[in-house]
């Protein structure tokens, strides 16, 4: 089991959009799964986990009937999965699927785009 903390990279990338209570955002990778984890200042003893196995790589989606088209792969290095999360996950998808990462105002702004 390996963890990587992404909070500083996320704050650098999204600056004021990040929820002010978010104190940890990272990935947990086991031999078979990858989870997005978050911890908020309101509940610092609680780690909220989201399994990332259902996140599809849009470039591989047409081949999903034949191969695993997941964007995240537990068989590769966690730093590669972290790079994929930072580079390929768009803020709208994150706001729609993982609450509490962006501030309420930023989430509403993002959702107004659809």
Cα dist. 54→34, 69, 110 in Å?
A: 10, 9, 22
Poorest-confidence range of 31-35, 38-42, 90-94?
90-94
Q: Taking 90 as the threshold, does the pLDDT of residue 110 lie above it? A: no
Question: Which residues are CB-contacts of 94 (< 8 A; sequence separation ≥ 6)?
Answer: 101, 102
Domain that holds residue 84: 2-112
Strand runs labelled E in the chain: 2-5, 22-29, 34-40, 43-51
What's the chain's average pLDDT?
90
Whether the CB-CB separation of 85 and 93 falls below 8 Å is answered with no
Question: Within 10 A of 68 (CB to CB), how many other CB atoms are there?
Answer: 12
The mean per-residue pLDDT over the stretch 22-32 comes to 97
Domain total in the chain: 1
């Amino acid at each position: 089991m390996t963890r990587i903390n992404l909070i500083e990279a996320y704050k650098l990338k999204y600056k004021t959009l990040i929820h002010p209570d978010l104190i940890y955002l990272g990935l947990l990778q086991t031999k078979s799964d990858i989870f997005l984890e978050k911890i908020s200042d309101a509940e610092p003893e609680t780690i909220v986990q989201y399994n990332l196995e259902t996140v599809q790589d849009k470039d591989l989606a047409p081949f999903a009937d034949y191969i695993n088209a997941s964007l995240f792969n537990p068989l590769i290095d966690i730093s590669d999965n972290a790079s994929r999360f930072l580079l390929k996950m768009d803020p709208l998808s994150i706001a729609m699927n993982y609450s509490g990462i962006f501030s309420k105002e930023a989430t509403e702004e993002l959702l107004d785009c659809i």
